[in-house]
Amino acid sequence: MKQEARGSSWIRRLSVRLYRLALLRYPGAFRRRYGQEMVDSFTRLLDEAAPRGPLAMASVWLRVALDLACPLPGPVAPSPRQWATTRALSGTLQEAARSLRRSPGFTALIVAVLGVGIALNVTILAVVDAYLVQALPYPESEGLVEVRPAVAAVNTANSDDVFEQAVSWHLFGVTLVGDRPSEVVLGARVTPDFFPVFGAQPALGRAFGDDEDGPSVAVISHGLWARRYGSDPGILGRSIQALSGESEGGRVTFTVIGVLPADFWHVNGTRTSWYPCPRAGPCTWGASGRTHPGTARSVS
């Protein structure tokens, strides 16, 4: 559900930008007069279509694409000559449609080429939008940096020269077992300040304390909580059995101490459970840091 909402919101933002760009095909005076209201109308059409799924959103795009392809309406009451022009234009369009029907192979090729071209453009724009235009989905994200190699974060965090806080993590697979069907989820061991660095607070329960060590406690994602545990508010304090190659004997039991908010997202959005890093084994697969205000990126 979270991923669907994120996807819809992402498509909506991109669609509105593309539509705003498409409005350039209209005369400047018309755009200045009605452009913002047209964007608002388009956005409302999208919002109404979003709950009905991607096909409904695509139909909105088809509607506005046809609209954009047409010239602006002519006079309110055309003269006989203007009517004749309209009929001539209509005849030309009908002839074009007939010739396309006569050559279905050629028509299919053109549609395929257009489809691939549009899909490529949308993909490229989406990637550019996600990686270069949009800010990271964290509060005050301008101070967040990824640190490589990750072990440097652990060392640098102690020096306090560059980072206010630095955290690192270690990924591993966990198989949840117990009274429900087994399920493999992606887990992460994280250092204690992990959630504060990303500006996240559990929606339910709490984050890790400094004295917690190893996979005896866990914070789970909103998605896992909703999907596997039916959004049960009594999840806090529940012991959950799991299998993991990272622990001795391969079997581990952890207590759920928190559930993250639905909009928390980390790196690739697939992580569903977090555990404290054991003191004996540093977590050095990945690292991030929050720099002191004013610290230049080149320094960090």
Residues engaged in binding another protein (CB under 8 A): 26, 30, 33-34, 36-38, 40-42, 44, 63-64, 66-68, 70, 72-80, 83, 86
Between 22 and 243, CB nearer to another protein: 22
Between 29 and 280, CB nearer to another protein: 29
Distance CA 82, CA 69 (A): 20
Between 80 and 181, CB nearer to another protein: 80
Write down the least CB distance from residue 36 to another protein, Å: 7
Q: Are 59 and 49 in contact (CB under 8 A)?
A: yes
- On the CB side of 197, CA atoms within 13 Å amount to 25
- For 19, the enclosing helix (H) or strand (E) is helix 2-22
Between 73 and 234, CB nearer to another protein: 73
Between 70 and 132, CB nearer to another protein: 70
Report angle CA 272, 259, 250 to the nearest 5 degrees.
50
Write down the least CB distance from residue 37 to another protein, Å: 4
Distance CA 291, CA 300 (A): 7
* Cα Rg of the chain, angstroms: 27
Write down the least CB distance from residue 122 to another protein, Å: 19
Write down the least CB distance from residue 24 to another protein, Å: 12
184-to-153, 170, 173, 187, 246 alpha-carbon distances in Å: 29, 17, 7, 9, 14
Write down the least CB distance from residue 88 to another protein, Å: 15
